[in-house]
Amino acid sequence: MNKLPEFPPEPPRTLRLRLDLEALAQNWRALDRLSGSAAAGAAIKADCYGLGLSALAPVLREAGARDFLVAHWSEVAGALEYVPAAELSVLHGPMNAADAAFARATGVRPVINSVHQATVWIENGGGPCDLMIDTGINRLGLPMSEIGNEIGAKLDVEVLMSHLASADEDSGLNAAQLQRFTQACAVIPASRRSLANSAGIALGRDYAFDLTRPGLSLYGGVPRDELGAHIRQVAFPQAAIIQCRKLKAGDAVGYNGIFTASGPMRVGVVSIGYADGFLRCWGLNGALQHGEVLLPLLGKVSMDMVIVDLAAAPELAEGDWVDVPYNLPDASVTSGLSQYELLTTLGRRFTR
Ligand SMILES: *Cc1c(COP(=O)(O)O)cnc(C)c1O
């Protein structure tokens, strides 16, 4: 095999993600303000919900965040490039001795989620940790029936936390979880208490305790209308037109040819597809945009490309950029994807 002596510089990409870092900082400050006397932390798991840890984590810390959350142990090394170990918690907790040893060696806090995890942590040396109580989500966390377990008294709990299952809805579960969490707080000593995620912040001060844990809304998500006035869009994807075509009556477009031109039309082939988070569910009602001008999608998203009608923007040509409408609440309605899915599926091919 011929090996290039030096790999040549990559040519410009046909996908780019503009990140409004000022909006990110403002979102954190707004959520911190809405948290009242509680401090807002920041969930930075999954590469800051897919937007890019390296660009976003420093901005969040600069804005004032001092409590950061990742989910996997594999995310710790990346996060520690931007966040001190004492400010980082790992949500999935220690399942075994290797996890516990890694936590102790790096100095991050594991979130203990069960009696088993508590035992693993203590048997492997223990130290400061967080403790997750399950108050009704049945995902991770010590069940309410075990809050009196003697192992709890052996833990050095920095943040006692629980997670709301339906804070984005006016569900009776919210008040029930608040009541159970208050009960757990009375039993388990901890330096600080934390219940609310982004949506939970909008439920009011009763839910804020000492620390809130926003994720989605930092990145522009609006899980409850009350947050709409405070949260700005952070991620602005754009894709390039890589070919312009002229269609005539009867020409079918894209996979399975579900759109057929009824007369002559000019269309653009745009470089975005499934691997970039642009799933087929966008195709039915969706459009890309050129400024305020809508460019309706024609036919199905076809692997790495979509085809749009250029009738409303005849000046557009190959190489021009078009906007992917990514105001998250609206994009969620158009695509049927959750705001979480819209962010985390954007993929790796964007210039960030
Ligand atoms: C992901 C996560 C958060 C952030 O939730 P959002 O709904 O994105 O604000 C907070 N706490 C825990 C335990 C989480 O897993």
Does the active-site annotation cover 45? yes
Does the active-site annotation cover 246? no
110 forms bridges with which residues in the sheet?
90
Please say if the pLDDT value at position 103 is more than 80. Answer: yes
Atom of ligand 1 nearest to the CA of 216: 8
* 3 state DSSP class of 116: helix
Q: For 107-132, how does the pLDDT look when each residue is reduced to its tens digit (9 = 90+)?
A: 999 999 999 999 999 999 999 999 99
- pLDDT range class, residue 285, cuts 50, 70, 90: confident
Strands (E), the chain: 15-19, 39-40, 42-43, 68-70, 88-90, 109-112, 128-134, 142-143, 156-162, 192-194, 211-212, 235-247, 252-253, 259-260, 265-270, 287-290, 293-302, 305-309, 321-323
Candidates 45, 82, 207, 300; catalytic one = 45
Mutate to test the pocket of ligand 1, among 163, 193, 230, 328 (most ligand atoms within 8 A of CB): 163
Closest of 311, 221, 296 to residue 266, by C-alpha: 311
C-alpha of residue 185 to centroid of ligand 1, in Å: 20
When the pLDDT of each residue in the chain is averaged and rounded to a whole number, the result is: 97
Mutate to test the pocket of ligand 1, among 24, 28, 49, 69 (most ligand atoms within 8 A of CB): 69
- pLDDT range class, residue 283, cuts 50, 70, 90: confident
Candidates 207, 246, 248, 255; catalytic one = 255
Q: Are 68 and 108 in contact (CB under 8 A)?
A: no
Average pLDDT over residues 21-49: 98
Residue 186 backbone phi and psi in degrees, to 5? -75, -20
Model's pTM, two decimal places? 0.95
